[in-house]
Amino acid sequence: MRKWFSIVSIIALFAMVLVGCAGGGANNGAGGNAGNEAGNEGGNAGDAGGDGGKVTLKLLQFKVEITDKVKAMAADYTKAHPNVVIDAQVTTDYETILKTRFASGDEPDIFATKAFTDIADWSDRLADLSDEPWMGKVAEAAVPGMTVDGKKLGFPFAFEGYGFIYNKDLFEKAGIKNVPTTLSELKEVNEKLKAAGIASYAEGYKEWWVLGQHLFNLPFAYEQDPEGTIERINAGDAKVSDVANMNGFFDVLDMTLNYGKGPESVGVSYDDQVTNFATGKTAMMQQGVWTIDSILKINPDIDMGMFAIPLTDNADDTRLPVGVPGYYVVNKNSKNADEARKFLTWLHENGQKYLVESFKLIPAFTDLETTEELGPLASDLSRYVDEKKTVPWAHTLWPTGSNQEFAKPLQAYVAGQMDREGALREVQSIWDARKKK
């Protein structure tokens, strides 16, 4: 088993990183994510012209919750580098658009990709960034997910974690004194909220990544050996239904339906989910640190926190998924690859302003610091890391593209069109079709 995916190693590395950052916030994310496609008007795409000519860098990424911030960053770069225009597109249907852009010849110069499987799949198109001046400042825990055949191919966005974000005032109103750490306690919390006339959830299951990636990641991440389990499924020696805590996943999913919108959840978008929570219409939502800015824009006075989602009645099992949501990579065939490298160097040099203060992300660079402005979600993430109660983002090891497909049978389950067994059979069929032979 490859050492880099050892849960113990990852926990230790995260602990060192966050302690070094003096504190402790996208995709799809994230990270995770939702919103409309957006882009900067960037002049004419193409090669650098002669003296005084402009270069257009095409940037494509998926963290739509910071769309406006990405566009502002791009505009600032152009102000500082008048010969370069960044045409930034941030989109929800990211994987499809990325593949379409490459197939049509409209290739981005810089784009985002996820750790391990995805970055490996794109590796033959990526520039080696191993010798870039900022690479020595990348946190050690962020390196394995972007390393292929010894080459370091990515610029990490951040560290992220997710769980149930909760409204502390609504919990207090319902007489809830402690966050739940077991399935039974989670049900008790939901019952107390119901008795107080407070809706627990309005989950954004319209978005494939909320259900088919983040929530469905949990039973795999809670395996004692996530990588080994996934390798056995790939080899045909185990099935998805054999994952130990799969029933716990469905139990939590059922709670979000029974104490939330029920089958109507398949029509709830990310924006609706965040708005319902931020305005106090719901007490909880399954999301991560990347939502902090969106929540505070709606309700700057909200008192909130985040806790890990339990899948069993053993509190020691309950842990928070923490990982790197994605990396910027450079298209090695771009005629503007050198300009793309310069942009990443500038982004690192100005990382405190953009990655931390503007994007409100927990930095994956040792020379950048988290701030109190990142708020209670980042603080709760740090606490789980300090207490060594984290699990990996195991979905990065699933067959490429399967997470988006997994959402379909799971959404059918939410809508009452499939039972557990039927949904898992369909997930298994998708897995078998997409795994590498």
Same domain, 421 and 342: no
Q: For 90-94, 150-154, 199-203, which range has the lowest pLDDT when averaged over its residues?
A: 90-94
156 forms beta bridges with 327
Residue 19 domain flag: no
Domain range spanning residue 336? 25-159+324-369
Q: Measured between alpha carbons, how far is 136 from 156 in angstroms, rounded to an integer?
A: 12
Counted domains in the chain: 2
Same domain, 331 and 316: no
Residue 385 domain flag: no
* Single-letter code of the amino acid located at 144: P
Alpha helices in 60-133 (DSSP H): 67-80, 94-104, 117-121
pTM of the complete model:
0.72
Task: Note the pLDDT of residue 65.
Answer: 82
Q: Measured between alpha carbons, how far is 28 from 92 in angstroms, rounded to an integer?
A: 9
User: Greater confidence, 23 or 187?
Assistant: 187
Same domain, 315 and 400: yes
Residue in 302, 21, 36, 313 with CA at minimum distance from that of residue 184: 313
Q: Measured between alpha carbons, how far is 110 from 107 in angstroms, rounded to an integer?
A: 9
Which H helix or E strand runs over 200? none
Same domain, 178 and 204: yes
The CATH number of residue 150's host domain is 3.40.190.10
Task: Note the pLDDT of residue 93.
Answer: 87
- Determine the Cα angle at 33 with ends 28 and 34, to 5°: 160
- Dihedral sign for Cα atoms in the order 433, 286, 120, 47: positive
Same domain, 309 and 175: yes
* Single-letter code of the amino acid located at 83: N
Residue 4 domain flag: no
Same domain, 148 and 168: no
Q: State yes or no: pLDDT of 14 exceeds 90.
A: no
Same domain, 179 and 275: yes
Residue 20 domain flag: no
Task: Note the pLDDT of residue 27.
Answer: 39
Same domain, 72 and 193: no
Residue in 327, 63, 92 with CA at minimum distance from that of residue 208: 92
Q: State yes or no: pLDDT of 248 exceeds 80.
A: yes
Residue 304 domain flag: yes
Residue 216 domain flag: yes
Q: Measured between alpha carbons, how far is 104 from 127 in angstroms, rounded to an integer?
A: 20
Same domain, 351 and 337: yes
- Whether 15 and 388 have beta carbons less than 8 Å apart is answered as yes
Task: Please give the average per-residue pLDDT across 91-107, as a whole number.
Answer: 93
Task: Tell me the pLDDT of the chain averaged across its residues.
Answer: 88
Same domain, 315 and 329: no
Residue 376 domain flag: no
pLDDT tens per residue, range 218-246: 999 999 999 899 999 999 999 999 999 99
Residue 379 domain flag: no
Q: Measured between alpha carbons, how far is 373 from 379 in angstroms, rounded to an integer?
A: 10
CA quadruple 166, 30, 294, 158: dihedral, nearest 10: 100
Q: What percent of the chain has pLDDT over 90?
A: 70
Same domain, 314 and 344: no
Same domain, 168 and 205: yes
- Whether 435 and 117 have beta carbons less than 8 Å apart is answered as no
Q: Measured between alpha carbons, how far is 121 from 397 in angstroms, rounded to an integer?
A: 12
Secondary structure (DSSP) of 379-421: HHHHHHHHTT-EE--GGGGSPTTHHHHHHHHHHHHHTTSS-HH
pLDDT tens per residue, range 311-322: 999 999 999 998
Going by pLDDT thresholds of 50, 70 and 90, the confidence category of residue 64 is: confident
Task: Please give the average per-residue pLDDT across 346-356, as a whole number.
Answer: 96
